[in-house]
Amino acid sequence: NLSSYSLIIFSSALKNLIVRNKLKAFYFLMIFTSSGAGYHSESKAKEYKHVCKRACQRAVDRLRAGGLALEAVTSALMELEDSPFTNAGTGSNLNLSGEIECDASIMDGKSLNYGAVGALSGIKNPVLVARRLLSETQKGKLSAGRIPPCFLVGKGAEQWAISHGIPACPTEKMTTSEYQTTQNPLSASDPVGDILVAGEENNSACLDTVGVVVVDREGNVAAAVSSGGLAMKHPGRVGQAAHYGCGCWAENARDVSLYSTAVSTSGSGEHLIRTMLARECSTAMQAENAHQALLEAMQNKFISSPFLAGEDCVLGGVIVLRCCTCGEAQRSEDIQALLVEFLWSHTTESMCVGYMSAQDSKARTHISRLPPGAVAGQSLAIEGGVCRLGTVSD
């Protein structure tokens, strides 16, 4: 009974894009930054939208050049990590020791391979390490029959990255005035009020995890996510952005599934880990009605999850992309359509999203907010749209 939950729900029908030309490629991209426990201030809205647009454009340029889904999500996420306005890569939150430790993961829907890093210091773009881990797993076993790692953390992850040609970057070059809350290392006994920079803009900005979902011209999906984690987190803490099934998920359609799905999450890492929200949302997307399926997943698997029964403020956000290929009888037999549905939902006060298709000249951006009076952590917003793209089947 959906009415039994304390929810504020709204949806918007975005303009459908119908492409009737015989295109030889199709792809769709969606990216987001999501406040894990606050909101995107109006004064920063322009900056958030701008970085989303740049990331979308970078990924679409890569796809137009012949790149596939994994390359596109990596390119977009690197752009987001390099921005001082997001809590990922450069500009990440500092932990209690005054250091930057990042989490990131990436998943390929075609192979189902996955790569992740946790509590990683000294690397500018954590997603590059996750991507390289994924690539190395596809090469097969190591010497002496060892299985290559798909998830590395801490100093070991940094050493592995450097040994595989990814350059080191000291913390001081990744720290920006936008996110630096103190000049000195912190201790657990320091009073929070004396450490945090005052003002809503700093407190809201520090919580933005970033993620990307994409489908390429071959219909493959991929997803990736990156985060600097909570401000003043304990050294060594690993958030949802690195955990399997929690930060991102991507899975091409197979015999038992009609839809290909890609999901990326943001919010309170511990809440997202305990509910494995990325995988739960992906599973839900096999239902006929995507909007209703995501709504029920956010309600039943997140807000009212038995794994979060003791929590009165459940904070999270997801972007979801699902697609299927189908023929169109009224058109030439060599033409198929890729139906792409894209949705986002959040229980936080806001989430900034950007999206772009192959036919768009520029990305569209939107800051989704809970309506006035809605209670963050107890209510949710859900929006989305549909894009139909044509392709030559050969």
Q: Are 251 and 260 in contact (CB under 8 A)?
A: yes
Query: d(Cα 21, Cα 329) in Å, to the nearest integer?
Result: 15
Q: What is the CB neighbour count within 10 angstroms for residue 133? A: 26
Query: d(Cα 174, Cα 337) in Å, to the nearest integer?
Result: 43
By C-alpha distance, which of 249, 247, 321, 333 is closest to 290?
A: 321
Cα 280 from chain centre = 15
Q: In angstroms, how far is the first alpha carbon of the chain from the final one?
A: 46
For 198: left if phi > 0, alpha if psi spans -120 to 50, otherwise beta; the answer is: beta
365 part of the active site:
no
By C-alpha distance, which of 242, 251, 195, 179 is closest to 222?
A: 251
Which residues have CB under 8 Å from 281's CB, separation 6+? 249, 261, 263, 265, 294, 297, 298, 301, 318, 320
Please tell me which residue in 209, 347, 348, 391 is annotated as part of the active site. Answer: 209
Packing angle between helix 69-82 and helix 126-137, nearest 10 degrees?
160
Tokens of 92: 């990440």
Q: Is 75 helix (H, G, I), strand (E, B) or coil?
A: helix
Alpha helical stretches, state H, the chain = 45-64, 69-82, 126-137, 154-163, 171-174, 192-195, 200-205, 269-275, 277-284, 290-298
Q: Are 237 and 229 in contact (CB under 8 A)?
A: yes
Q: Are 213 and 264 in contact (CB under 8 A)?
A: yes
Burial 312-339 (b: 16+ CB within 10 A, else e): eebbbbbbbbbbeeeeeeeeeeebbbbe
Q: Is 211 helix (H, G, I), strand (E, B) or coil?
A: strand
Cα 354 from chain centre = 12
User: Mind telling me the catalytic residues?
Assistant: 209
